[in-house]
Amino acid sequence: MIKKYFDHPLRNLNSFHVEERADCIIEFDHAEELDQIFAEGQEPENWYVLGGGNNILFTQRYAGTLIHPAGRNITVLSEDAEQLTVEVEAAVEWDDFVAWCVERELWGAENLSLIPGNVGASPVQNIGAYGAEAKDVISRVHYYDVTQRKHCSLTNEECHFAYRDSIFKRELRGRAIITSVEFTLSKSPKPNLGYGDLARETEERGGATLGNIRDAVCAIRRHKLPDTAVLGNAGSFFKNPIVDKDVAEAMMAKYENMPLYPAADPEKRKLAAGWLIDKAGMKGYRTGNVGVHDRQALVLVNHGGATGGEVMALAHQVQERVAEMFGVKIEAEVNVL
Positions touching ligand FAD (CB under 6 A) are 15, 48-56, 69, 90, 115-118, 120-122, 124-125, 127-129, 168, 176-178, 225, 228, 233-235, 335
If you count them, how many residues does the chain have?
337
**In the bound complex, what is the minimum distance in angstroms from residue 123's beta carbon to ligand FAD?**
8
CA distance 26 to 4: 5
CA distance 146 to 177: 8
**In the bound complex, what is the minimum distance in angstroms from residue 280's beta carbon to ligand FAD?**
22
Q: Which helix (H) or strand (E) holds 204?
A: helix 198-204
SS3 content of the chain, % helix, strand, coil (to 5): 25, 30, 40
Residue nearest to ligand FAD as judged by C-beta position: 117
Nearer to ligand FAD, 225 or 251 (CB): 225
Nearer to ligand FAD, 181 or 251 (CB): 181
Catalytically active residues are 164, 236, 333
Nearer to ligand FAD, 231 or 251 (CB): 231
Residue-by-residue DSSP string for 198-228: HHHHHHHTTSS-HHHHHHHHHHHHHHHS--T
**In the bound complex, what is the minimum distance in angstroms from residue 232's beta carbon to ligand FAD?**
9
CA 297 from centre of chain? 17
**In the bound complex, what is the minimum distance in angstroms from residue 333's beta carbon to ligand FAD?**
7
**In the bound complex, what is the minimum distance in angstroms from residue 141's beta carbon to ligand FAD?**
9
CA distance 168 to 126: 10
Whether 321 contacts 282, CB under 8 Å: yes
**Across-strand partners of 180?**
89, 142
Q: Which helix (H) or strand (E) holds 249?
A: helix 245-254
CA distance 168 to 49: 12
Nearer to ligand FAD, 90 or 330 (CB): 90
Nearer to ligand FAD, 225 or 282 (CB): 225
